[in-house]
Structure 1
């Protein structure tokens, strides 16, 4: 007898301690109970046969209501109830997530000669993401990139990029990013507001972030995936070197497009492979 249900997010995570309220056809409350830490509801309170409305609420999520029919046995099996983040937005489960550099990339694209693009990436970086439990907008991101790890596939070009003309890696060995806020831009899209320290200059930089979902990995962990982009202007970070060709075209574009493909592992540990 009683009520059973499972409270889940859109991508299958348990919503712990959700509150379940049951009302009859007159709108009178007949039962109020709470899900456990696994998002499960098992309440043995007997209910009279008939039609009921089941309302599920949880902090940070939009409430939902569904119909339930109690049989002669006094049992109501609601099944799986899906809750959406408040405002329809989605993020991974709350807590700490550590970016896995072996399965992530930090890249940048610059225009070359006005007709093509040069792609580069940083191979040495670390980052942490902290998802706030009740207010996603208070989630935080911190990242540190070793400037000398720049790799464009050409050793001579890479050495020039490491020089004082560009990154000046001996004087400024690290590039850092620290978020200052988060704004919803859609059901699975966010704008991350933050400050980028590059070439000794601190500037506000927004990341356009897409949350791609979560899933289990082969090493027994849980991963979340993200994709993010941003546009940077070199002159904002005091990197003004350029060459002007005879046609008046700059050899190197002044805008850099940053492209991030990120896998983050739940918790602080990383897999060995």
Structure 2
């Protein structure tokens, strides 16, 4: 078949869907324009005279790539793999849905105690879905936490945190977060803008997100890892309980730090393991 064939992919081998390949002759005249399929393959038929041509690959969110192609006497140029880098230098996970794996993730919290040290806790029941967009800013996340699953390593303290003084889990059994429109904050960092529904109050909460990479898992899937942090003020969510000890020191700090270590599995379902 006369024409041009190529496969457009990222640095780590994922297809760049719907990349556009533009071919010009040495005088700068466009002789071919073709779009890659979902597998990143461009296979375009055209009557091309033998000689050298310039090929430029473009795609939203990626830096353009230019190369020289030699068309043989058969009228064919096989370019092999064209590798594109995401703008900003970070390769994101492939677009589509990713499921949060609670067995290999952590939702942690910490609050200051007596103005000196921190009390650490975690939620043990949670889940959610990340939708990675073709462009980073088109990505979104929906997540939930079972409020009663709080665990600080002290049953008496945990019962108090579940009470109406704090989480009031009987009235508000779930904590929910919905976010999107991530904005770059570095080569592998973003600020995710979202809304946290906690204790019956919905407030804007931004997550400082770091993407840690992706790779295969032992169960035949692909995983991506993220770390995120946020700081909340208890008063913003109408959790104003406190106990004042000697010298006016509050027993519990007014702010709460949240740390997330998340593994997400590509697709809508989680594997065993």
Contact in 2 for aligned 1:11/1:213 (Cα 8 Å): no
Contact in 2 for aligned 1:180/1:195 (Cα 8 Å): no
SS of match in other structure, 2:156: helix
Correspondence list, 1:246-265, <5 A: 246-265=246-265
Q: Residue 93 in 1 paired to residue 94 in 2?
A: yes
| Distance in 2 separating the partners of 1:20 and 1:192 | 32
The corresponding residue for 1:82 is 83
The corresponding residue for 1:242 is 242
The corresponding residue for 2:15 is 14
Q: CA deviation digits over 1:43-97, x for unaligned, max 9? A: 5657555443210122443432223445677654434323234565653222211
| Distance in 2 separating the partners of 1:25 and 1:88 | 30
The corresponding residue for 2:25 is 24
After TM superposition, the structure 1 stretch with the greater mean CA deviation from structure 2, 103-112 or 29-38, is 29-38
| Distance in 2 separating the partners of 1:183 and 1:261 | 20
The corresponding residue for 2:192 is 192
The corresponding residue for 2:56 is 55
Count the aligned residue pairs. 272
Alignment TM-score, normalising by the size of structure 2: 0.88
The corresponding residue for 2:127 is 126
The corresponding residue for 2:172 is 172
Q: Residue 163 in 1 paired to residue 163 in 2?
A: yes
SS of match in other structure, 2:161: helix
Contact in 2 for aligned 1:104/1:261 (Cα 8 Å): yes
Contact in 2 for aligned 1:90/1:187 (Cα 8 Å): no
Contact in 2 for aligned 1:90/1:211 (Cα 8 Å): no
After TM superposition, the structure 1 stretch with the greater mean CA deviation from structure 2, 168-177 or 88-97, is 88-97
> Which runs of structure 1 show a deviation greater than 6 angstroms over 4 or more consecutive aligned residues?
none
After TM superposition, the structure 1 stretch with the greater mean CA deviation from structure 2, 77-86 or 148-157, is 77-86
The corresponding residue for 1:217 is 217
Aligned-residue RMSD, C-alpha: 2.4
The corresponding residue for 2:202 is 202
| Distance in 2 separating the partners of 1:108 and 1:80 | 45
* Distance change (3 Å), C-alpha of 1:257 and 1:42: same
Contact in 2 for aligned 1:94/1:132 (Cα 8 Å): yes
Shift of 1:100: 0.9
Shift of 1:164: 1.6
Q: CA deviation digits over 1:139-164, x for unaligned, max 9? A: 22111111000011121211111112
Contact in 1 for aligned 2:165/2:239 (Cα 8 Å): yes
Structure 1: which 5+ residue stretches go unaligned? Answer: none
